[in-house]
Amino acid sequence: MRIGNVKLSGYAALAPMAGVADRAFRELCMTFGAGYCVSEMVSSKGIAYHSKKSAELMEISDSERPCAVQIFGTEPDTMADAARFAMQYRPEVIDINMGCPAPKIAGSGSGAALMRDPELCGRIVQAVSRAVEIPVTVKIRSGFDSAHINAVEVAKILEKNGAQAVTVHGRTKEQFYAPPVNYDIIREVKQALSIPVIGNGDVCDAKSAQYVLEYTGCDYLMIGRGALGNPWVFREINEYFDKGIIIPPPTLEEKCDVLLRHISAVVEYKGERVGMREARKHTAYYLKGFKNAAKLRNLAFSMETKEDLINLIAEIKNSNRH
């Protein structure tokens, strides 16, 4: 799998999830076999207004490469300027968000709302493609709503204007993350384009990965919610396709060790006060399937210090040893 001249390993990428797929989580997923990752989305206007927070979202470490910086916005020139600014962080790819369903994003005309104006989508891609010398990709949805399933039309315009790969999330903006996923539209986009198509939507293990790849014919997969509290999903998929085996799930000890490793990195990068507050949601994802999960989640959402996390892990082991 290649995006322009960028070679990807494995079979699946980590999706750009705002507030979740930060540097710590991207690095962790790459160690478990993700072949590619994309930053949290960055506002092009935030860059134009010299937002320090927006700039920080573009920071990429060597251990999470190849990595794309994802930008969002509605103005072609402002998006092009943001892409140029991103180049100082040496991303391998610039990704454009045309799929976010969040009211704050789509309500301003960005994200998935752009799919209502395919020609504007094309102008944005053209401006960004001309602004940088690295590949430009786009993440879209099946359409804005069930009455406007236009992913094929939009994807053709994106390719015509310079996109070198398209990721398709098989849901509409109106669906958010509600079922079902429309894998037919991913297949139709793949059949209509000559550039790589990445399939996205409800891939959570090796079997679902196999189904989506075979049914849609897409070139690669992108995993979002299926990786939350489960960075092992990339290892599972790689082992299944490379060796034909389903590896056993992680042990209690491994889950606890990776949880501590993950949150330690969050604290290192963001400081204990901010890091531990963000750690609460990450920890809750890891608790899925544990005994006494409700009690453990309550403890997780009251954490203030790394010592609290260590105590929680001791409680997890005590409650789930057998």
90 annotated ligand binder:
no
What Cα–Cα distance (Å) separates residue 81 from each residue in 72, 95, 116, 121?
12, 14, 23, 16
70 annotated ligand binder:
yes
Half-sphere exposure of 118 (CA within 13 A, CB side): 16
34 annotated ligand binder:
no
Which residue in 29, 37, 67, 100 is the catalytic one?
100
What Cα–Cα distance (Å) separates residue 56 from each residue in 42, 70, 148, 203?
9, 13, 36, 29
The burial class, CB within 10 Å (0-12 / 13-18 / 19+), for 151 is buried
User: How many whole angstroms from its chain centre is CA 233?
Assistant: 14
16 annotated ligand binder:
yes
225 annotated ligand binder:
yes
100 catalytic residue (yes or no): yes
* 196: helix, strand or coil: coil
Q: Which run of H or E residues covers position 12?
A: strand 12-14
Tokens at 66, concatenated = 């190849």
50 annotated ligand binder:
no
17 annotated ligand binder:
yes
Cα 255–259–263 angle (5° rounding)?
175
169 annotated ligand binder:
yes
Tokens at 14, concatenated = 């980590």
Residues making up the binding site for FMN:
16-18, 70, 139, 169, 224-225
Residue ranges for the binding site?
16-18, 70, 139, 169, 224-225
Which residues are annotated as catalytic?
Answer: 100
